[in-house]
Amino acid sequence: MVELVPTIEEIKYFKYFRDLREESLITLQPIIKKFRVKYGEQPVRIGQVSHYLFFVLKGAIRQFYYNEGKDVTEYFAFEGDGFFSVESYLRQVPATVGAVALESSELLAIPRDKLMDLTHEHASVGVFYDSCLDESLVISQHRVYSLQFETAKQRYDKLLATRPYIIQRVPSIYIASYLGVSPETLSRIKHK
């Protein structure tokens, strides 16, 4: 990963930062890093502690874990999305969920320790942090509901409705994994 310096305009691009007062943005800007990540690089590695809250400025990221030796896709993050290895970031334990770039990407990253310090000093930074956690919880709840109560076809249709570009940007094997089906089942769903 190549480290760069983000501009205030790049930071304001994200919905998470838009509601922050100017003073809070100025407070946060010095701790925010920008990383350029190549295809296949892993900003979060399984087995290592994750120290960053990430936001995708450009590109595509796939979050994944291993279950009985099988690679399982948990989440896709595209432009404007945030991502992090929740348990690792919050508890500072080795990550069980990794993240890999599906294409060359640019990420903004906020180090946990510095962010925690600022949440204690600035109430609006604390509100920002809470909104990031809230978004993660809502996404997780929707995902669990979808896997429990929707058919594979319904999950596929919803994915296409919310992220129509996914077919061009993500290999089918990862889409199938995300939907909880085999690649063969995904192929049949596509042709219905």
Q: What is the CATH number of the domain that holds 101?
A: 2.60.120.10
Q: Read off the pLDDT band of 49 (50, 70, 90).
A: very high
Residue 160 included in any domain: no
Q: Which of 95, 89, 41 lies closest to 65, judged by CA?
A: 95
Residue 66 included in any domain: yes
3-state secondary structure of 32: coil
What sign does the dihedral 104-107-66-45 (CA atoms) show?
A: positive
- Structural domains counted in the chain: 1
Res 77: pLDDT: 97
Averaged pLDDT of the chain: 93
Residue 172 included in any domain: no
Residue 132 included in any domain: yes
pLDDT over 70 percentage in the chain: 100
Q: What is the pTM of this model?
A: 0.92
Residue 13 has pLDDT above 90, yes or no: no
Output the 3-class SS for 109-178: EEEHHHHHHHHHHCHHHHHHHHHHHHHHHHHHHHHHHHHHHCCHHHHHHHHHHHCCCHHHHCCHHHHHHH
Residue 158 included in any domain: no
Range of the domain at 69: 2-149
Residue 180 included in any domain: no
- How far does the chain reach from its first CA to its final CA, in angstroms? 41
- Give the residue, 152 or 192, on which the prediction is more confident: 152
Residue 19 has pLDDT above 80, yes or no: no
Res 8: pLDDT: 84
Burial grade of 59 (CB within 10 A; 0-12, 13-18, 19 or more)? buried
Q: Read off the pLDDT band of 191 (50, 70, 90).
A: confident
